[in-house]
Amino acid sequence: MNLQGKKVLVVGLARTGAATVRFLAQRGARVKGSEVKSAEELKTLPETLRGLNVEWEFGGHTLTFFLDAELIVVSPGVPLSLPVLKKARDQGIPVISEVELAFRFLRRPVIAITGTNGKTTTTTLIGEMLRAGGQQAFVGGNIGKPLIQFAAGDQGEKWAVVELSSYQLEGIETFRPAVAILLNLTEDHLDRYPSFQAYGEAKGRVFENQGKEDYAVLNADDARTFSFAHRVESQVLLFSRERAVPAGCFLDRGWILFQGPEGRRERYALDRVKIRGTHNLENLMAAIAASRVSGCPPEALQKVMEEFEGLEHRLEWVREIDGVQFFNDSKGTNVGAVVKSLMSFREPIWLIAGGRDKEGDYGPLKDLLREKVKGMALIGEARERMFGALGNETQTVKADSLEEAVEWAWARAKPGEVILLSPACSSFDMFENYQERGRRFKEIVNGLKKRSLPEAEWKGKAL
């Protein structure tokens, strides 16, 4: 792709957008940048892009600025439904994602991971497995470093292991991963997509350019995900907790069995695995399937399985106080994630949920709340709608802050029980992101003191 002298507009100037601007400028493009935030809100932008000959637009998007471009590259958070982007497309101006631009400059094969939940854990696992097997891997995309940053470097690693959101996949044209994984599909981002079907189709685009020598790794237990097995051109590898599969991974009495496309079986022990939860078994199976067809030896996979301790904010153990366990699952930003987190515990749970509503259906939580949750504290903008949908399923209160929610649960939890932050919502009403929310939860928990009052007294204390 020849960028010399080409007028290219980058829309969205956060981390990925800034890296894209630098990439384009270094290749001789005539770069423009458009950002809905003001220059003051983007405090680090002038410093990171100092010295580049770029025409800027801050505080909104103007049509004349867009129509002057020959190519438009959108950052992950920018919806392709923006009116200015639609009008640009109507004028014949190509609109692509940063991932698509990066792919056109890659010299290394890609392993792409998408799905509603588990993407970051699976992406990290695959990167660790490849490295343990002696294959250097770039790990990034929707986590860590943008793919365009890898494309800009010497590409010394053998693989690019990339987490992809539905937003990033909306803007692809030629993007073709050697291995593509779709972990699961549950309702999410319905504040951006017109329907669950549209959201699922955006995820499924990860397979659309694959050929017969590529691999599609799919969850056989998720009907919506499994439906792609009959639509892809690539070789299908399945993973399942519930049944044996012809090629891929499945559970068998404390082991994960991998059966390759040629029919050979391998066994991976689970008795020393540190991460908990049924969803992490699925993540492990997907990672094993992808890593094996990428040439990673079995012993490297087993080593990583036993050493991997999980990621921050993803069903992360925080502390035990007076026999009560605290878990931070701030990354549980949709209903499907919370369902899997609740299923991971046998202990009675005190749940803290809420945040910015994504307009999904809270119904799938009802049975689990009745079965597993002794009480629930709701916070944030979504608390009223969540209370209306779920408040009758267990003891439920509406709290004004995360601190108040933790104190309420802590005043009632008994030894042997769990206090779990798993919001089912985004964090943007009260926090900068889910990481800040999770860190604040841990600060609150680590500030709690052991209870000195007798049980008869503290059991009844409330805010």
| Domain of residue 405, CATH code | 3.90.190.20
Same domain, 191 and 215: yes
Q: Are 190 and 157 in contact (CB under 8 A)?
A: no
| More confident call, 195 vs 234 | 234
Q: What is the CATH number of the domain that holds 30?
A: 3.40.50.720
> For residue 85, is it within any domain?
yes
Helix (H, G, I), strand (E, B) or coil at 387: helix
> What is the CB-side half-sphere exposure of residue 393 using CA atoms within 13 A?
21
User: Which comes out higher in pLDDT, residue 462 or 166?
Assistant: 166
Counted domains in the chain: 3
Say if CB 425 and CB 390 are below 8 A apart. Answer: no
> Which pLDDT value is given to residue 459?
47
pLDDT value of position 274: 86
Q: What is residue 458's predicted lDDT score, i.e. its pLDDT?
A: 44
| Contacts for 46 with CB less than 8 Å, ≥ 6 apart | 39
Do 132 and 258 reside in the same domain of the chain?
A: yes
Sheet hosting strand 349-354, strand order edge to edge = 316-321, 324-328, 418-421, 349-354, 373-379, 395-398
The better pLDDT of the pair 310, 339 is held by 339
Least confident segment among 43-47, 268-272, 398-402: 43-47
Q: What is the DSSP letter of 205?
A: G
**Quick one: pLDDT band at residue 359, thresholds 50, 70, 90?**
confident
Banded model confidence at residue 463, pLDDT cuts 50, 70, 90: very low
Same structural domain for residues 251 and 124? yes
Average of per-residue pLDDT values in the chain: 92
Note whether residue 262 is domain-resident: yes
What integer pLDDT is reported at residue 363 of this predicted model? 94
Residue 65, domain member (yes or no): yes
Spell out a b/e string for 230-265, using b for 16 or more CB atoms within 10 Å of the CB, else e: eebebbbbbbbbeeebebbbbbeeeebbbbeeeeee
> What is the distance between the alpha carbons of residues 199 and 13, in angstroms, rounded to a whole number?
24
Q: What residue numbers bound the domain in which 134 lies?
A: 100-307
Q: Name the residue among 278, 339, 272 with its Cα closest to residue 306.
A: 272
Q: What pLDDT sits at residue 456?
A: 45
Tokens of residue 200, six digits: 């699922």
Give residue 461's pLDDT. 43
Helix axes 402-410, 434-447, angle to 10 degrees: 40
When pLDDT is averaged across residues 362-371 and rounded to a whole number, the result is: 95
Residue 80 falls inside a structural domain: yes
Q: What is the pLDDT of residue 132?
A: 97
**Most confident among 184-198, 327-341, 397-411 (mean pLDDT):** 397-411
Where does 253-308 show beta strands of DSSP type E?
Answer: 255-259, 265-269
For the chain, give the percent of residues with pLDDT over 70: 95
Residue 197: Cβ within 10 Å count: 10
* Coarse DSSP helix, strand, coil percentages of the chain, rounded to the nearest 5 percent: 35, 20, 45
pLDDT in tens, 56-77: 999 999 999 999 999 999 998 8
Task: Specify whether the backbone of 141 is left (phi greater than 0), alpha (psi in -120 to 50) or beta.
Answer: left
Cβ proximity of 326 and 318 under 8 Å: yes
Q: Which residues are catalytic?
A: 119, 142, 189
> How high is the pLDDT of residue 322?
93
> What pLDDT does 45 receive?
64
Question: Residue 311: what pLDDT?
Answer: 80
Residue 46 has a pLDDT of: 57
Residues 6+ apart with CB under 8 A from 278: 241, 340, 343, 344
pLDDT for the residue numbered 77: 82
For residues 154 and 260, membership in a common domain is answered with yes
More confident: 228 or 276: 228
Per-residue pLDDT of 209-236, as tens digits, reads: 999 999 999 999 999 999 999 999 999 9
Over range 171-184, report the average pLDDT.
97
With H, G, I as helix, E, B as strand and everything else as coil, classify residue 175: coil
pLDDT, position 195: 87
Domain boundary among 281, 307, 333: 307
Same domain, 41 and 151: no
Exposed, middle or buried: residue 37 (CB in 10 Å: 0-12, 13-18, 19+)? Answer: middle
Residue 189 confidence class, pLDDT cut points 50, 70, 90: low
Both 417 and 323 in one domain: the answer is: yes
Residue 33 has pLDDT above 90, yes or no: yes
Residue 194 has pLDDT above 90, yes or no: no
User: Which one of 259, 288, 307 terminates a domain?
Assistant: 307
Q: Is the pLDDT of residue 251 over 60?
A: yes
**Does residue 415 share a domain with residue 282?**
no
How far apart (Å, rounded) are the C-alpha atoms in residues 60 and 177? 34
Query: Does a structural domain hold residue 59?
Result: yes
The predicted pLDDT at position 340 comes to 86
Counting other chains too, the contacts that 43-52 makes at CB distance below 8 Å and 24 or more residues apart are: 45/13, 45/18, 48/18, 48/22, 49/18, 49/21, 49/22, 52/21, 52/22, 52/25
Do 298 and 345 reside in the same domain of the chain? Answer: no
Looking at 50, 77, 93, the residue that finishes a domain is 93
Q: Is 455 exposed, middle or buried (0-12, 13-18, 19+ CB in 10 A)?
A: exposed
Same domain, residue pair 293 and 337: no
Is 463 contained in some domain?
A: no
Is 335 contained in some domain?
Answer: yes
Radius of gyration of the chain (CA): 23
Q: Report if residue 1 sits inside a domain.
A: no
Burial of 202 (0-12, 13-18, 19+ CB in 10 A): buried
Percentage of the chain exceeding pLDDT 90 = 78
Same domain, 335 and 296: no
pLDDT over 80 (residue 386): yes
Confidence category of residue 188, pLDDT binned at 50, 70, 90: low
Look at residue 49 in the predicted model and tell me its pLDDT: 78
Q: Could you tell me the CATH number of the domain that includes residue 214?
A: 3.40.1190.10
- CA triple 269-273-279, angle to 5 deg: 100
Structure tokens at 296: 């990673």
What is the arithmetic mean of pLDDT over 274-300? 94
Q: Are residues 140 and 177 in the same domain?
A: yes
Are residue 354 and residue 217 in the same domain, yes or no? Answer: no
Number of C-beta neighbours around residue 367 at 10 A: 12
